[in-house]
Structure 1
Amino acid sequence: MTDAPRYVVEKYIVSIRDDDHDARFTVRRNGKAFYIKVSPSQFVNSPMMIDKFISFVKVLRSGKEVLDIYDTDVYEWVTAPFELLFAELAPNPPGDPKDIRITLHDHLFSEFFVFTLDVIDEKRCPRRIAAETSPYRPSYVRFDDNFLDELEAWTLFYDPARITLSFKDPEDALFKPSEKVLIDSGQTECFFKPCNSGVQIIRELETYRKIQAAGLDSQFNLCHVHGVVMDDCGFILGILLTYIDCGGCPLSTRIHPEELDDPIPAIRNRWLNQLDTTLTALHKAGIVWGDVKAENVLIDQDNNAWITDFGGGYTDGWVDREMAGTVEGDLAGMSKLKKFLFPSENSSGSQIHDRYGDTI
């Protein structure tokens, strides 16, 4: 029996509308991207498969298990008919896997193939679609020359072709997107944050400019901007920030509400003190954090708490809309962070907690 080829479902897109059951999947194998569209409108004489796929879409839309179906069950159902095509169109590269070097440009603008999954008489039938341009391209923003001149005055521009994806296993770069990249001939580790909106990146870059000008990124647990990534068309693809080695774990995943000693109160107090000290310094410099929440606090491998994400906005349950983007909103959010860290303690805090309106 031949082993199934290795590949990864990188992402999927489904509509939030209950009457739209189309889904799109991006699969990556050996540095190549496969875009697969599945639509019940392409199912012929297949009522059972229509019902099955609609139930699958409900799982993807909810992000939860539904009727004992998981997202991995959906992935397997969609991709299994394509496995021979994955192996044929994206063969294993020659040479030693240890020598694999994939640039950010290779990943963002990879060779691609477009498919649809037809279902005829209850049988899944892959069908390739000719396409000269990719149905998806990386998120990007474009700014006028004045903004770029201002940007160039305080940071650097990097070509994605000179940035390398970084994994412990070099072969993983052929299959997975990487948040960790290397610049300066592989000497500097960075976190690559893609652009999602012009408004967001303008605010974030302006905040990081102020942080850098005040020297806060060298004194506190705040990211430093190493540069922005720009392609040869003048599109800004993302920001290069300090890489925080946290194993992908924000504060929101480190606190166990029912386990008050995991982590122990001393560690929680350490995090709260670090957050308070950093936020105080930001406010003294005239800088607002904005979207205060546990997901925007990263805990590194040395148990230090980092404030991240200065793109603006607010999150229901953390900062009220009318207070978003203000010092008062930051303080209200920090009060909720304190309660998140110490949900039931009432005697083990320090005087810094008074700043948020009450004590622990």
Structure 2
Amino acid sequence: MKSNANFDFTRWEVHETETDCNLIFRSTLGQVFYCHINPDKFIDSPTVLGQYLKCLQILRTGEQEIDDFYDEDAYDWLSQSFAPLITQLVQSSGMDAVVNPTLAHYLFPSKTYNIQLLAVDDELKPEVVDFEGHGWINSIIEVDDDFLRELDQWTRSYAPSNVQLCYDRPEDSLIKTPKRTIIFNQKGQPVTCFFKQFGLSFGSSHAKKELEAMKKITLALFPPHPTHLSVDWLV
């Protein structure tokens, strides 16, 4: 692996009754790996199945420990199950870590992969699969021109490529969800903003409700036409 490259397990999705599981890994190169585990793909692998079901129980319940099996054990097993293949994909990418990451790098990955986990005779065999879609909700919300015009009346919007991401540790860059960003105001001065990612479980309606709440806060804090104040809510 390139010395400046890193990847890590960032998100998961499980079901209350189904036994499959979806995971997301990200790399500092801007890659995203959508990983799927279906125990139906485990052939003659009772040990693998047992270990996976313990991990699944931890993810479902959110408990830190169940029968001397800890959440860190679950995260480690899940990560190590895909690590050999992801390491190979990172090494062979020919890319370097993104030095100055922006929101565009985070929202629009340089490369995406769909990976499924197989097991035969208790030997794990992750493999890249060729199919469109990965089952995760799109992080992009489409809005019409009227919505944008109304938005511009009370705040400013920025292209993702103009929003710099701040990370305390370089090894977390483009892997962890950013907490802070930097934008440049109309005078060209840097402004640090907190990063707020909308929940999209119910489509765009949740995001629009949050924007409406931000609008009310803004109008309550500032006069309708301030002469020297502005609020940069949206990135």
SS of structure 1 residue aligned to 2:79: helix
Alignment of 1:70-89 (within 5 A): 70-89=70-89
Question: Taking structure 1 as reference, are residues 200 and 175 closer, same or farther at Cα in structure 2, changes over 3 Å only?
Answer: closer
TM-score normalised by L of structure 2: 0.79
Contact 2:182–2:190, Cα closer than 8 Å, also in 1: yes
Q: 1:190 maps to which residue?
A: 193
Return the alpha-carbon distance in structure 2 between the equivalents of residues 186 and 27 of structure 1: 34
Contact 2:85–2:127, Cα closer than 8 Å, also in 1: no
Return the alpha-carbon distance in structure 2 between the equivalents of residues 113 and 135 of structure 1: 13
Q: 2:129 maps to which residue?
A: 129
Q: 1:208 maps to which residue?
A: 214
What is the Cα deviation at residue 201 of structure 1?
2.9
Return the alpha-carbon distance in structure 2 between the equivalents of residues 66 and 12 of structure 1: 19
Q: 1:52 maps to which residue?
A: 51
Contact 1:158–1:227, Cα closer than 8 Å, also in 2: no
Question: Taking structure 1 as reference, are residues 183 and 215 closer, same or farther at Cα in structure 2, changes over 3 Å only?
Answer: same
CA RMSD of aligned residues (A): 2.8
Return the alpha-carbon distance in structure 1 between the equivalents of residues 88 and 193 of structure 2: 34
Return the alpha-carbon distance in structure 2 between the equivalents of residues 210 and 90 of structure 1: 45
Contact 2:55–2:74, Cα closer than 8 Å, also in 1: yes
SS of structure 1 residue aligned to 2:19: coil
Return the alpha-carbon distance in structure 2 between the equivalents of residues 41 and 186 of structure 1: 55
Instruction: String of CA shifts for 1:311-336, please: whole Å, max 9, x gaps.
Output: xxxxxxxxxxxxxxxxxxxxxxxxxx
Return the alpha-carbon distance in structure 2 between the equivalents of residues 87 and 43 of structure 1: 22
Contact 1:101–1:170, Cα closer than 8 Å, also in 2: no
Instruction: String of CA shifts for 1:162-217, please: whole Å, max 9, x gaps.
Output: 11110133443143221211111781111221222533333332232232223269
What is the Cα deviation at residue 133 of structure 1?
5.1
SS of structure 2 residue aligned to 1:157: coil
Residue type of the alignment partner of 1:226: D
Return the alpha-carbon distance in structure 2 between the equivalents of residues 119 and 39 of structure 1: 10
What is the Cα deviation at residue 47 of structure 1?
2.4
Unaligned runs of 5+ in 1: 218-223, 230-360
Return the alpha-carbon distance in structure 1 between the equivalents of residues 20 and 133 of structure 2: 21
Question: Taking structure 1 as reference, are residues 211 and 100 closer, same or farther at Cα in structure 2, changes over 3 Å only?
Answer: same
Contact 2:12–2:21, Cα closer than 8 Å, also in 1: yes
What is the Cα deviation at residue 136 of structure 1?
3.3
SS of structure 1 residue aligned to 2:196: strand
Residue among 19, 41, 49 paired with 1:21: 19
Q: How many residues align?
A: 215
Alignment of 1:83-102 (within 5 A): 83-91=83-91, 94=96, 100-102=99-101
SS of structure 2 residue aligned to 1:228: coil
What is the Cα deviation at residue 78 of structure 1?
2.3
Question: Taking structure 1 as reference, are residues 187 and 137 closer, same or farther at Cα in structure 2, changes over 3 Å only?
Answer: farther
SS of structure 2 residue aligned to 1:40: strand
Contact 1:140–1:194, Cα closer than 8 Å, also in 2: no
Return the alpha-carbon distance in structure 1 between the equivalents of residues 189 and 174 of structure 2: 18
Larger radius of gyration: 1
Contact 2:33–2:115, Cα closer than 8 Å, also in 1: yes
Q: 2:67 maps to which residue?
A: 67
Question: Taking structure 1 as reference, are residues 67 and 6 closer, same or farther at Cα in structure 2, changes over 3 Å only?
Answer: farther
Instruction: String of CA shifts for 1:27-59, please: whole Å, max 9, x gaps.
Output: 122221111111111011122322221222111
Alignment of 1:281-300 (within 5 A): none
Bigger share in strand: 2
Question: Percent of pairs identical after alignment?
Answer: 28
Question: Taking structure 1 as reference, are residues 138 and 104 closer, same or farther at Cα in structure 2, changes over 3 Å only?
Answer: farther
Q: 1:112 maps to which residue?
A: 112
Unaligned runs of 5+ in 2: 224-229
What is the Cα deviation at residue 79 of structure 1?
2.4
SS of structure 1 residue aligned to 2:114: strand
Alignment of 1:320-335 (within 5 A): none
